[in-house]
Amino acid sequence: MNSKLTVKTAYANIYSNPQFSSQLVTQALFFETLEVISHHGNWFKVSQWDNYIGYIHKFYLFDDIADKEKKYIIKDRFLFLYDSVDFKNIAMVAPFGCEIPAILVDNNYYTIQSDNKYFFKEGSYIFKNDKRSEIIECSKKLIGSPYLWGGKTPFGYDCSGFVQQVFKSINISLKRDTSEQIKDKRMNSIDITSVNIGDIVFFDMEGNGVDHVGIWYGENQIIHCGGEVKIQSIKEFENHIIDIKSIGNLINE
């Protein structure tokens, strides 16, 4: 058994136990490499890049290990992957945040070598000059994505999965769950009068400690996943704020 396996589908559900009826706890994205901890029939217990652990069915996996030196991060909501260079037949729809090992051919198109061969054109995303603006632009791409407990794709996010994936798209790694994100010692707590776009806002909505998170959008608004990814006035949540974290250290300001 290989110690590492790679996701071959657009995304893959990861469960609390080795059965589909157990709770969905998180997801892995296309070409994400997973560390195998143990084997349970048709299931693997795996660890992700953020050390999150769960169970995944073998259906989602193959043995191809991605070349991390050839990394293309999808920053559009979705990217069409085709089965040939005539770009007629869509072979897969890859979601925002996927890191895929792609090779640029003749400055014209990209190719991915895997179980199947995929081809794609450059996405439409326009890169910004600073990280804070890029966080906001990436977030806006995902507006309208529905809420899904454990979700990490535009097909469905939970609040912490949304924040984690937005930051991962600009090469900043955060923990998976809100309870861990708020403990990140790289970020300093700040007052709301000092907040800047891209900073992370944590909430206690139920009175039991941190249970929600969003990104400061500017103009007294946050962008977050609550029911769906959307922009809302902070006034609707200001009594529930328990911490605001500056991302200055994360982006080397």
Closest CA to 170 of 213, 110, 130: 130
- What's the CATH number of domain 4-62, 3.40.50.2300, 2.30.30.40, 3.30.110.40, 3.10.450.40? 2.30.30.40
Which residue do the tokens 């794709």 mark?
A: 153
Query: Does the fold of domain 131-246 match that of domain 4-62?
Result: no
For 188-226, the pLDDT digits (tens) are: 999 999 999 999 999 999 999 999 999 999 999 999 999
Q: Where are the domains of the chain?
A: 4-62, 71-120, 131-246
**CA–CA separation, 218 and 22 (whole Å):** 39
Does residue 180 or residue 110 have the better pLDDT? 180
User: What global pTM score does this model have?
Assistant: 0.93
For 62-78, the pLDDT digits (tens) are: 886 656 567 889 999 99
Are 41 and 31 spatial neighbours (Cβ–Cβ below 8 Å)? no
For 91-135, the pLDDT digits (tens) are: 999 999 999 888 888 888 888 866 567 899 887 766 667 999 999
The pLDDT value recorded for residue 144 is: 98
**CA–CA separation, 68 and 33 (whole Å):** 10
**Can you give the C-alpha Rg of the chain in angstroms?**
19
The pLDDT value recorded for residue 69 is: 63
The whole-chain average pLDDT of the chain stands at 93
> Which residues does residue 34 pair with via DSSP β-bridges, in sequence order?
5
Query: What is 131-246's CATH number?
Result: 3.90.1720.10
